[in-house]
Amino acid sequence: MPDLTERLARLIDTSGPISVAHYMAEANAHYYASRDPLGAGGDFTTAPEISQMFGELVGLCLADLWVRAGAPGDAAYVELGPGRGTLAADALRAMAAARLRPAVHLVETSPVLRHAQGERLPAAQWHDDSSTLPTGVPLLVVANEFFDALPVRQLVATEQGWRERLVVHEPSRFRPVPGPPVGSGAIPARLRSAPAGTVLETSPASVAVVRQLASLIAASGGAALIVDYGHAATAPGDTLQAVASHEHADPWISPGERDLTTHVDFEALAEAASAEGVKVLGPVPQGEWLKALGIEARAGALARNAPARAEEIAAARDRLVAADQMGTLFKAMALVAPTWPDPAGFA
């Protein structure tokens, strides 16, 4: 039995059920601290690992925005959950072509991934969370598949009203069960009379991060690009899922040994950001966004320079933009300082 499974089981057995958010936070903290989960030999593959085109277009989007904002010389590039540093390396290479060479700040807690990032980005500065990011300088922020891994509360409708789901331990697995009642203020008005069994997920952790970023951007300039999978408007549903070795897995066994994620609620993030005074653009489908940024032209240029890889490049483009792959489920949203122009791709 893995150490984390033993520890959580002992905690529940001695102190009582824990929240879904507690379970998810503990599981993902252990998971990311103990391995590199990316690529063919890991558990999943993200957009920047599929093709350099993704990071390059992100970098060009931010560089174009920076130029149109007057090219402030002290801008900082910030990435939340930067994986192996692949996206940052591609984005910064594209930025340099536009004469933008910002300081690099990475929000990462995993020692394994920090090591991988350091090999690609030796001049980077690392942060455990967004609270220590620089102030007084424009921030060019990227968060790709970051918010989906932050813990969520799960609220469930019962015949007796809405309750928070708690996690109990059984001999071979963990299991969510209805727990204490929650106030109606936690439930959107349109969902308060939902039928029994309806699940609503909220992420106070995600809201806190967005508010922190939006506050910094509103005060000092810049923008944040958030790319993730989820729904544009708050919607009910149990979206907690696990993946291991590129296959769906049971999220309620072997915590810390598989990646746990949920669908991002872009409406909730937008409301939190707007409250801090930034402009919110999107979300728009990832496929439409990348096409607007020029992925077709970039794919063509790469294929002309490497004809032997033309099919591989086309397949990677399709994986990023096709509606039946990442193009629709994944979405992009921008948070922009009120005095800055709008980034490309959100018209």
CATH of the domain at 81: 3.40.50.12710
Alpha helical stretches, state H, the chain: 3-15, 20-33, 47-50, 52-68, 86-97, 111-120, 204-220, 266-274, 286-293, 295-305, 310-321
State the pLDDT at residue 40: 65
Map tokens 């690392």 to a residue.
Answer: 126
In a domain, 268, yes or no: yes
State the pLDDT at residue 42: 72
* pLDDT tens-digit readout, 205-232: 999 999 999 999 999 999 999 999 999 9
In a domain, 261, yes or no: yes
State the pLDDT at residue 244: 83
Instruction: Give me the number of domains the chain comprises.
Output: 1
State the pLDDT at residue 34: 80
Q: Give one word for 223, left, alpha or beta, with left for phi > 0 and alpha for psi -120 to 50.
A: beta
In a domain, 327, yes or no: no
3-class DSSP state of 276: coil
Better-predicted residue by pLDDT, 97 or 43: 97
In a domain, 137, yes or no: yes
Better-predicted residue by pLDDT, 73 or 135: 135
In a domain, 185, yes or no: no
Report how far residue 330's alpha carbon sits from residue 145's, in angstroms, rounded to the nearest whole number: 9
Q: Which of 299, 287, 294 is nearest to 327 (CA)?
A: 287
In a domain, 161, yes or no: no
| The pLDDT of residue 1 is above 50 | no
pTM for the model stands at 0.95
* pLDDT tens-digit readout, 248-266: 899 999 998 999 999 999 9
Q: Which of 40, 74, 22, 49 is nearest to 222 (CA)?
A: 74
State the pLDDT at residue 347: 84
Q: For the chain, what is the mean pLDDT?
A: 94
Q: Which of 286, 318, 308 is nearest to 51 (CA)?
A: 318
| The pLDDT of residue 203 is above 90 | yes
- 233 - beta bridge partners? none
In a domain, 194, yes or no: no
Range of the domain at 274: 31-38+73-151+202-284+332-336
Report how far residue 82's alpha carbon sits from residue 21's, in angstroms, rounded to the nearest whole number: 22
